[in-house]
Structure 1
Amino acid sequence: MNDYNVVTVRIETWEFECCAPLPVVGEKSSWALHPIPDSLWFDGSVHGGIFPDDVEPTAGIVLSIRLERGEFVEQEPRHWVLVPGSTDRVRVEKVPPHFRGMSSLVAGRRGWMETAVVVELATTCAPFR
């Protein structure tokens, strides 16, 4: 029997572009966790103010990392929406220092954008629900 829990944490790309540390498979990582409604996953953050102040970071060893990306279409000028069912996740060993974001989208055409990083974290503490 395992002495740890595996927690799936979804972190928005802006967290990394701002100041979040880049997780690496096999290394320790720590996130304030917030349950995603109707899911077994958690949203992760390093920024105060997004989650209640009493949320203690959950630390663990990174087991896997996936880049979440989706296809976007321009619904009206400079207003892009995710194409339903287009989200996929690509396994990587480490998070890239930069993401394909809004600036990669071209008016009048569909385009792909990386939206989040999904980390499987092995932790000895059980996150709240």
Structure 2
Amino acid sequence: MHGLTNSTPVDRGVDVVAVHVAAWEIECCAPPPEVGREARWVLAFTADDAEPEIFHRPVRWDRIGSKLSAGGISAYWRDAPDDLSDHPTGLRGRLWGTVHGADVPDGFVGTTGTVISVYLLDELYREDEAGVWRPLPGTEVRTSVGKSPSWFGGSGTFVSGMDCRKQTGVVMELAVSG
């Protein structure tokens, strides 16, 4: 079982990982994640000590392919430190799902699992001194949904000097056999 309020049973040999998917990925051509459906995503890892630990089983690091592997999960890590051990522990950060490759090289293996939850992400944005709209840390709101929308909204008109909420994508929990 995972630690959500409404528990979803999963087998013991399954890893549950949170995968962030940007709104533009889904609006372009990625299939909207849906609870109970199988999904295949190419994953990229971004380290961030403020985030939870990602992997809960031994991790293998392939420095040639810049690939982290744990059970049935594979993730590309573009900015990995040069001195990373072959079996890193305590990796904290986010997994990002992509169908477009983004920073992931062509041919990188995808990760397949069953979607057990989907959360719509909404963040508060503020204009900075250079006129660029940026999300404000700590303002992310997650709303449980059965299926990701195909198109995202929820943002008002961006008006200089005022904060604005915007739907930025989804987080899905993916149960991956290992």
Please say if residues 155 and 164 of structure 2, whose CA atoms lie closer than 8 Å, have aligned partners that are also in contact.
no
Deviations 1:8-28 (A, max 9, x none): 111111101111001110011
User: Match of 1:9?
Assistant: 19
Larger strand percent: 1
Structure 2 residue 74 is matched with structure 1 residue 74 = no
User: Match of 2:143?
Assistant: 90
User: Which range moved further: 99-108 or 47-56?
Assistant: 99-108
Cα distance change of structure 1 residues 55 and 101 upon mapping to structure 2, 3 Å threshold: farther
For 2:137, what is the secondary structure of its paired residue?
coil
For 2:27, what is the secondary structure of its paired residue?
helix
User: Which range moved further: 44-53 or 13-22?
Assistant: 44-53
Q: Name which one, 1 or 2, has greater alpha-carbon Rg.
A: 2
User: Match of 2:65?
Assistant: none
Please say if residues 156 and 164 of structure 2, whose CA atoms lie closer than 8 Å, have aligned partners that are also in contact.
no
For 2:47, what is the secondary structure of its paired residue?
coil
Q: Structure 2: 5+ residue runs without aligned partners?
A: 1-10, 55-93
Give me the TM-score of the superposition, normalised by structure 2: 0.62
For 1:62, what is the secondary structure of its paired residue?
strand
User: Match of 2:170?
Assistant: 117
For 1:36, what is the secondary structure of its paired residue?
strand
State the alpha-carbon separation in 2 of the partners of residues 67 and 49 from structure 1.
21
Cα distance change of structure 1 residues 71 and 26 upon mapping to structure 2, 3 Å threshold: same
State the alpha-carbon separation in 1 of the partners of residues 146 and 157 from structure 2.
23
1:105, distance to aligned residue in structure 2 (A):
2.4
State the alpha-carbon separation in 1 of the partners of residues 156 and 110 from structure 2.
32
User: Match of 2:88?
Assistant: none
Equivalenced residues, count: 125
Deviations 1:67-126 (A, max 9, x none): 11110112247521222221121111111121127774233321101112101001113x
Structure 2 residue 42 is matched with structure 1 residue 27 = no
Tell me the amino acid that sits aligned with residue 2 of structure 1: R
Q: Please report the RMSD computed on the Cα atoms of aligned residues, expressed in angstroms.
A: 2.1
